[in-house]
Structure 1
Amino acid sequence: MHVLDNLSTGNRATVDNRASFKELDVYDASALKAYLEENQIDAVLHYAGEIVVSESIENPSKYFTANVAGRNQVLKVLSEVGIQKIMFSSTVSLYGNNCIDKPVTEDTLLDPVNPYAETKLMGERMIYWMANRYDWKYVIFRYFNVAGAEMDASNGLRVKNPTHIIPNINKTALGQNDSLKIFGDDYDTRDGSCIRDYIYVLDLA
């Protein structure tokens, strides 16, 4: 297993010591290509990208740059080195309001309602067309909010300023936050707050 990350949001400590780690940015095409060739990589798990919905609304250009231009760079390099297997981390946000109060299937109508979701949909379509051209095999996961960590805390979400609620609950419980902010009071729930679906990180892994 080889892990490539520019550590802009990631944390080196979360990488298992059994994996080879290289600090590398996807925009450095020559370095990315060289690493893949030198290590004879035959499949890629593509998780890189920006993921904060609210930030994508405030700064859509950042998300189009990272999640579309950056992803295109990765796919281009894969085609150049002959890697034909890719797994892509997408999102249930592609369904937008169509996944409220009803089960979601792959046939549910797509309705991205923010730049983050839009860029993920673009990523899926990019992979589809590259696979069509280069005979790739690919898997795409559209999962809900990922939460949790190893019981011994050896792995899990570690960011300096988390936006997700579970890390903020933990920080508040530990006294690192003065208070816990819950946004939204007009949802169709008993107290008006939002209900989210989560998937445990080890179940996803």
Structure 2
Amino acid sequence: MTKTILVTGGTSYIGSHTVKALLNAGYKVHVLDNISTGNRAAVGSRASFKELDVYDASALKAYLEENQIDAVLHYAGEIVVSESIENPSKYFTANVAGMDQVLKVLSEVGIQKIMFSSTVSLYGNNCIDKPVTEDTLLDPVNPYAETKLMGERMIYWMANRYDWKYVIFRYFNVAGAEMDASNGLRVKNPTHIIPNINKTALGQHDSLKIFGDDYDTRDGSCIRDYIYVLDLA
């Protein structure tokens, strides 16, 4: 029997690539997103889509009760580190209080499988210049990472209580696009380095800003690890 997957935040960069990968693998896919930062066109017409804020508990519960969902892939949330420092309350509201609403609804409707999109930022400075494993000491150094860690712990305890199965991905910076250019990073004002390089090359930016000049590298600039978006999806 074909499994049905719900992807929250499914119009986002990573979410939309995951939706396509699931569809290509033969799953039936539902997408919920308020499109505050995502792009509706990135999902296409093969997935069932509804514009809905998943942190609206009553609306989410009604949707889940109307549709038979086998598992939830949770991508919805706030993700910009610099913004989280300027406005931590926004991140605690979405990524912690919002997560609480989602998990509560899942427990009420009986969905017992969840995947959570977390971040390698949980390791903070402990992942600089050395390999990282799941056992590396966690040390979030900004509100964004802190809220992701809290989300992980919330899932752990809910899974412990309700016998859920869960997977959490702590990945590095994600980059790339579909090889046929059908999808990629579609953000109006991206903070990511690669689209800003492209915009500068196309003359849309006067110059490219690279932050930091005191890293322990040959020229003092930062070196980051990247993962290809389709490998992650």
Displacement, 1:133? 0.6
Displacement, 1:5? 0.4
For structure 2, list consecutive stretches of 5 or more residues without a partner in the other structure: 1-28
Q: Map residues 174-193 of structure 1 onto 2, 5 A cutoff.
A: 174-193=202-221
Deviates more, 1:194-203 or 1:18-27: 18-27
Q: Residue by residue, what CA displacement relative to the aligned partner does 1:143-184 show, whole Å, maximum 9, x if unpaired?
A: 001111102221221111000101111111122112111000
Aligned position for 2:25: none
Structure 2: how far apart are the matches of 1:166 and 1:17?
28
Which secondary structure state, in structure 1, belongs to the residue aligned with residue 166 of structure 2? strand
Q: Residue by residue, what CA displacement relative to the aligned partner does 1:61-114 show, whole Å, maximum 9, x if unpaired?
A: 111011101111111110110000000000000000111111100110100011
Structure 2: how far apart are the matches of 1:69 and 1:6?
17
Structure 1: how far apart are the matches of 2:49 and 2:197?
30
TM-align CA RMSD: 0.8
Q: Residue by residue, what CA displacement relative to the aligned partner does 1:108-140 show, whole Å, maximum 9, x if unpaired?
A: 010001100000000000000000111100000
Q: Among the aligned pairs, what percent are the same residue?
A: 96
Aligned length: 205
Displacement, 1:29? 1.4
Which secondary structure state, in structure 1, belongs to the residue aligned with residue 151 of structure 2? helix
Deviates more, 1:157-166 or 1:171-180: 171-180
For structure 1, list consecutive stretches of 5 or more residues without a partner in the other structure: none
Does structure 1 conserve the Cα–Cα contact (< 8 Å) formed by 2:55 and 2:94?
no
Aligned position for 2:141: 113
Structure 1: how far apart are the matches of 2:95 and 2:184?
22
Does structure 1 conserve the Cα–Cα contact (< 8 Å) formed by 2:84 and 2:91?
yes
Structure 1: how far apart are the matches of 2:108 and 2:196?
42
Runs of 4+ aligned residues of structure 1 deviating over 4 Å after TM superposition are none
Which secondary structure state, in structure 1, belongs to the residue aligned with residue 161 of structure 2? helix
Which secondary structure state, in structure 1, belongs to the residue aligned with residue 160 of structure 2? helix
